[in-house]
Amino acid sequence: MDIKATIAAMTLEEKAGLLSGLDFWHTKPVPRLGVESCMVSDGPHGLRKQDDSADHVGINDAIKAVCFPAGCATAASFDRDVLTQIGQALGDACQHEGVSVVLGPAVNIKRSPLCGRNFEYFSEDPYLAGEAAVSLIEGVQSRNVGTSIKHFALNSQEHRRMSSDSRADERTLREIYLPAFEQAVKRAKPWTVMCSYNLVNGTYACQNHWLLTELLRGEWGFDGYVMSDWGAVDDRIACVAAGLDLEMPASGGENDRRIVQAVREGKLPESLVDLCCERILTINQRFLENRKPETPWDKQAQHQLARRLAAECMVLLKNEGELLPLRREAKVAVIGAFAKQPRYQGGGSSHINSAQVTSAWDVLAAWPGVTYAPGYHIQTDEPEEALLLEAEAAARAAEVAVVFAGLPDLYESEGYDRTHLSMPPAQEALIERVAKANPNTVVVLHNGSPIVMPWLPRVKAVLEAYLGGQAVGGAVVDVLYGEVNPSGRLPESFPLKLSDNPSYPWYGGEKNVVEYREGIFVGYRWYDQKEMPVLFPFGYGLSYTRFAYQNLRLSHTAIRDTDTLTVQVDVTNTGARYGKEVVQLYVADRESTVIRPVRELKGFEKVALAPGETKTVAFTLDSRAFAYWNEALHDWHVETGAFGIQIGRSSRDIALEADVTVTGTTVVPEPVTLNSIFMDLLAVPKYAQAMQPLIDLMQQAFSGHSVDADVETAVSPEMMQAMIAYTPLRSLLSFGNGQVRYDDLVALVDQLNRLP
């Protein structure tokens, strides 16, 4: 298709019609010009293809598909290949079913553990979220199927999600909430972007020109089309002007008519409508020209893949006395309704009509010596004494009790936020009673976001399975019995209590205003800065073997910010089992003049090692690894100084570190004014000589008389130095004993500003 010629042949009504959906899931065709309709579909972790009577919140059934681990779990893998394989499987399913774009991944930052949609998001850390997004997008699009990275941007709560105004300063946006989108757009080139429901700093995302045109297209180079979230459009004319191409779903023709009217009245350039059409048709043609309906979709093979990948995502949180892995011949009591009916996915638009579901009990039921007790009702919060007594009896009769617990569907879902971090009282009571009956108690958790664990000291082992997809039961058994050595790491901090979370005082906002007052201190950046105890830190996870780090080496001890730094470290499996270790690289700014976190994740690699084996893990760091967003420059900026290169097992467990000196090559323009203080001026060497007479004058003014160690004085040398440091130039008129004139100060300011 000659897209420009096709658009030129369209009527204005046809062009306007292309800018909204045909129905819930399809773009509009123009049959007389050979323009075909294309289908988009939900499915960040599985294909949720519905028919034309479908909805977007998961009420009606979709086709049978394979449900892979959700975003909360896949991020815990810290394994790019896991995300790529899921993407490839999704792409195959889309080709088989004729779906042009899968709506995902969702990369919004986990600002608070309360967000109802956190199960779908990757991490509290923008680097990890970005790496996960890049890998998933590359996997899907390798099959010539598009992705729609979402929700752009600042969508970190469900409360008032269609009307809330997310307000964040420039630095917070650039350092926390935009980098995952930026990396995905620049590196993986998603075919489409979905804007969020909320306003961003006072303007709806769908009609935010800075967000959709200046930043996304102008700065980042995005060349696909932007679609709305379902029902997100406010002013359709403003949306077209801002860069929103496709409104979803259909508007019944109402907004199409408004676009036509606006063009004819001269309120909207027809060239912008043409541009939207061109973007939509370009992406649609990319799929249509590469359609492969003959692509096989082997759901059984994908089920086995889902089981293998789910095991890679699980995080061993506790293993006292090396209770795990379990012996095959051990007498085990399996307790908890989730053992038979696992919570393996979230609710709402990502809900998959799973082709099959494997529970842990499906695998263990035939094993000798394994018994089952339900323990609780999934739909009931309060404990039932008869079920507790049955569970206690089963636990006493076994060598090991394994309790399956977590969060039911109603506790976390699209559409609303959580109000607390607790599991249902029935499940907490069950764990307490079972642990009292059997000291060898293991807890397996099925949840999409952090919980509190008041029972933790009384159990010996905890396995975080997250929402592991339809094959999660088999994967849990594989990990519990040592067929797979757990290698997942937490992609988010687990706080001791909700009020420890940095967004706690203002999360949810006041009416429609949501202020991101914690700024850049999200998740571990806050907890580590505060040296605050946490239940489990970011990046944490145990293994059935042990790993040693040694021989950290940097390619240079000093670089410019235009150079790259290579970091290498040797990792050895010092235990007796094969396993995988996640090597995490953090960067710490040792001497920043701006407020920065203690450390930030800037690299990770998962390495597989046999017992006794050593491998070298390498990282390459560029200037962004050392930079912060400078609001004066409106750009990334590296300050000259020392930076710590830290190799850790988590943000709280740094095994090795070494320093590199980085020289910044960008000069920050800080014009001298009469309000500039001596401390800031004297930090610039070129100002020192010109200012020496003023320094002498200030010392005389603040001294009062000579300072003698044997004579009591009101002004100590330290006090005098501090007072001078904080004094602005204009104060010399007050403290200069008449020796300084205003015109002299103005001339000095001019002189300093003209120094090369």
Catalytic residues: 229
- For residue 549, what are the CA distances in angstroms to 216, 500, 526, 581, 651? 40, 32, 27, 11, 15
The DSSP element (H or E) to which 24 belongs, if any, is none
Do residues 131 and 77 make contact, with C-beta atoms less than 8 angstroms apart?
A: no
Q: For 336, list phi and psi in degrees, rounded to 5.
A: 120, 135
The pair of structure tokens assigned to 256 is: 């199409």
DSSP SS3 for 495: coil
CA-based nearest residue to 596, from 623, 620, 625, 622: 625
DSSP SS3 for 573: strand
d(CA 204, CA 192): 18
d(CA 660, CA 623): 13
- For residue 450, what are the CA distances in angstroms to 38, 113, 420, 445, 538? 38, 6, 10, 10, 11
Do residues 410 and 447 make contact, with C-beta atoms less than 8 angstroms apart?
A: no
Per-residue buried b or exposed e for 108-138, using 16+ beta carbons within 10 Å of the residue's own CB = bbbbbbbbbbbbbbbbbbbbbbbbbbbbbbb
DSSP SS3 for 316: strand
d(CA 383, CA 379): 11
Q: For 139, list phi and psi in degrees, rounded to 5.
A: -65, -50
Going 283 to 284 to 287 to 288, the CA torsion angle's sign is negative
Task: Please name the residue that has the structure tokens 């970011």.
Answer: 538
Do residues 637 and 630 make contact, with C-beta atoms less than 8 angstroms apart?
A: yes
CA-based nearest residue to 580, from 535, 620, 617, 618: 617
Task: Please name the residue that has the structure tokens 């509190």.
Answer: 452
DSSP 350-418: T---BS----HHHHHTTSTTEEEE--S-TT--S--HHHHHHHHHHHHTSSEEEEEEE--GGGSBTTB--
Count how many Cα atoms sit within 13 Å of the Cα of residue 101 in the half-sphere of its side chain: 31
d(CA 88, CA 68): 12
d(CA 756, CA 738): 31
d(CA 558, CA 562): 12
Do residues 698 and 720 make contact, with C-beta atoms less than 8 angstroms apart?
A: no
Q: Which residues pair with 30 in a beta bridge?
A: 35
CA-based nearest residue to 118, from 103, 102, 107, 128: 107
The pair of structure tokens assigned to 523 is: 């998740």
Residues shown for the chain: 756
d(CA 467, CA 310): 9
